[in-house]
Structure 1
């Protein structure tokens, strides 16, 4: 039997796809490593001086975010299917769900240096609009989303060139880039000094002052990943991964090729002749050769491994425990790492191998804590609150007597 089709049988887990929980846990493990490197690590230096740091940079950082983005699209499609089966209104429920996610993301972004959830909530609105689209139309939109930033920059350059000429446009774009970099340096200086209250205020002001920035309306790889996740669920990729192995392996290979091109080919491609803004998009192949595509190698690998050898679902169970409480564990990891790293906390800095060790230690604690919690409760605490607000009614939390929770 294909374990990807095997779901838990107790109440809250009924209908859960085992592989998705494993992937969420794997993504959170990657995020722990990436954020330990980002917040607690020193200079990357050369490969020989910091192999652990390079391991995280090359194989983990950014790919963790891509896995989560893909799974967000899958999760959207799963919930959409469940709501339609129950005959519930999709629009109001999803709007509340995304609104709560945005509020959580706002709090996380203000209280810690880890922004991500607000973007998920924002572009989740696009999925509401696109959910009924045909596969072909969604794939076209996914490609356009990848190219949106380069197209925007090219259009801006073209309009400016028509108005003031090429040379003046180049000077103007260089000045804009320099101004933006100066703003970022000033912001970094503010959030890396002062009291915690001052830092929180600075972060909040930065968000509130630019709620309608043009960048907010420009999609990128994350909307593409949302759409691909939605399509993966729609076409039964996780219902029977082994039957779709050729497609999955194709994505895995493409992920490796794009990742290799990002690191070892694109850095040698000259940006001569490109306008400054568009040149900034060259390192990602104008959106198409991003290192984050390596995430598909991990996603496909886990899906095929568990489908072909069901025992791996048991061996990898700790990933699933963490994955079932992914949002709760994400918030915990953000708070803990911020306290360890920030100047208003302990201000730790650790070497490369310690980054991996700390990440593994924190993940082990999360796995044990999640297993303990799930043996007693149906959902993680944040997941439960999110669910209550989504459906606008109190949801059961405690497990029925005798229920087995943490498989």
Structure 2
């Protein structure tokens, strides 16, 4: 089931560490190449030699024990892994990981890896229910970690309840199911733009807009979850970087133009949801403009139309634009769709304060080059991202109706 997979198994200091021995054996039997990292506490329950014999690989216990002088062990392991399993994951390990602490071999490797991480917690029932542990679990979930829920039953402490490490065969079954699920955008490259641009007037002032970037970031997250290799070109926003998404930070329209056009040829889908400035100051002052006793005039010039440029250059790419409108939404959207040679356009009414730039919700109309029209009522931007990407995939395959 997992033949050829390179798996790092992290074992922390709980009585359930003995089950990690069986998990190692079963993973190897499935054809996986397993390398085990043990915390200091884990070595109090099981000897490293046990895991070495079962995995047929060296066991890592010390971040400063560099076995190969040509490599940094925790970076090498982090890059090597196809996936990482933490079993058992104690409350202490969850707390350190949730807060970005890297003070041993396991946590330094975890912070360095970009591979999927599966966490199988194991602890006392009351510990598992503690508010701090719950908060750490939520934080890790937001970071993109995946969980294998503990089972109910008799615990080593004598309690009966939730907290028992899931059985090794069930851990493997869950991982196999997730890793082999159908990902409709697997092997597809998707580029998404998000947020506003800032066009400087002088060294302290700039023109910008109200875009929050939430729609673009939602699209990037959903595309990544559908298996795509995602590049997000983002203007200045107050949003966290998405794990597993290559994020290119830009400021001005010129910088966004360069970032997008230099990567355009290799993309399969491009969704330009950023609110790029149409105009910028013609003259940018290299010093702060002093207050005058009279009005001043700032002359503006057009920025390069990124979407039109992409429309002229596209060959195999599916190109999607966004139109923020305050009136005659469909009419303006249809003209933009044709004029800029788009495959689809997403139109949203920014005059509605409930679905404006900074809102978590949106309401859109989607028009396609093939003549399809879709109206999506008010819902979260992540839900709209899911629907939009589903429609794009159907339209690309000629299944849209």
TM-score normalized by the length of structure 1: 0.21
Q: Larger RCO: Structure 1 or Structure 2 (Cα < 8 Å, ≥ 6 residues apart)?
A: 1
Asked which structure has the greater CA Rg, the reply is 2
Identify the structure with the greater strand proportion.
2
